[in-house]
Amino acid sequence: MTLALDPAAQDLLFREAQTANTFTDEPVTDEQVQAVYDLVKFAPTAFNQSPLRLTLVRSTEARERLVAHAMGANGPKTLAAPLTVILSADVDFHEKLPHLFPAAPGIKDTYFAERSVREVAGIQNATLQAGYFILGIRAAGLAAGPMTGFDFDALDKEFFGDGKQKSFLVINVGKPGEGAFFPRAPRLEFQDAATTV
């Protein structure tokens, strides 16, 4: 079975790419992050709600506020990365729906009127976008180091005090450094992940 995507692209995005745990000192520019965003922004979300927000942590002060809420090895790893991005869902994404979903602008005030509905939808769709974003980092020739080991409630208080964003993932970004990769762990076979009904 041959895929339409050429083998070099398959390797770059999936087969040869791995989560990086160390990085070189080479900076990651805003232009690089924007190029990633401008590619992956086209991938789908429900009603095009596009709730993912990126917080690029660059200042020493912000980096220290971030790692204060890291678990285990994530603190030192993050301090040593050239760029760290906090991924969050905009719980008020509905305010942008008249622009983003012109086919049915009214859903802003009907289907998405309740914050509790938006929290669930926002986190789900921002997480889909996080998957696209990780692959986009690889598409830029960079390595991603996604981490869930942070106190996200504390991060929300620290960085999003107005309650309008819920963080859910932190990603270190850069060129892989020495010893960046752990050995590739096994994956589930198709037969163990898929069922036909």
Residue 8 interacts with a second copy (CB under 8 A): yes or no: yes
| Cβ proximity to a second copy, 178 vs 192, nearer residue | 192
Q: Please give the size of the binding site for a second copy, defined by CB under 8 A.
A: 81
Tokens coding 121 = 């939808």
The answer to whether 116 contacts a second copy (rule: CB under 8 A) is: no
Q: Measured between alpha carbons, how far is residue 80 from residues 24, 25, 27, 87, 108 in Å?
A: 9, 8, 12, 19, 41
Is 9 a binding residue for a second copy by CB under 8 A? The answer is yes
User: CA 31, 148, 11: angle at the middle one, nearest 5?
Assistant: 55
In the list 162, 178, 179, 187, the residue contacting a second copy (rule: CB under 8 A) is 187
**24-53 residues near a second copy, rule: CB under 8 A:** 30-44, 46, 48, 50, 52-53
| Residue 84 β-bridge partners | 57, 172
CA distance 93 to 88: 11
Minimal distance, residue 68 CB to a second copy, in Å: 14
Question: Which one of residues 67, 121, 155, 170 is an interface residue with a second copy (CB under 8 A)?
Answer: 121
- Whether residue 91 contacts residue 160, with contact meaning beta carbons closer than 8 Å, is answered with no
Residue 85: closest CA among 124, 46, 43, 142: 142
| Residue 73 binds a second copy, judged by CB under 8 A | no
Tell whether residue 80 is a contact of a second copy (CB under 8 A): no
Out of 79, 80, 128, 180, the only residue in the binding site for a second copy (CB under 8 A) is 128
Choice from 80, 115, 124, 175 touching a second copy (CB under 8 A): 124
- Rounded to whole angstroms, how far apart are CA atoms 24 and 22? 7
> For residue 87, what are its two tokens?
């991924």
Whichever of 140 and 180 has its CB closer to a second copy, that residue is: 140
In the region spanning residues 130 to 149, those forming contacts with a second copy, defined by CB under 8 A, are 130-132, 134-135, 138-141, 144, 146, 148
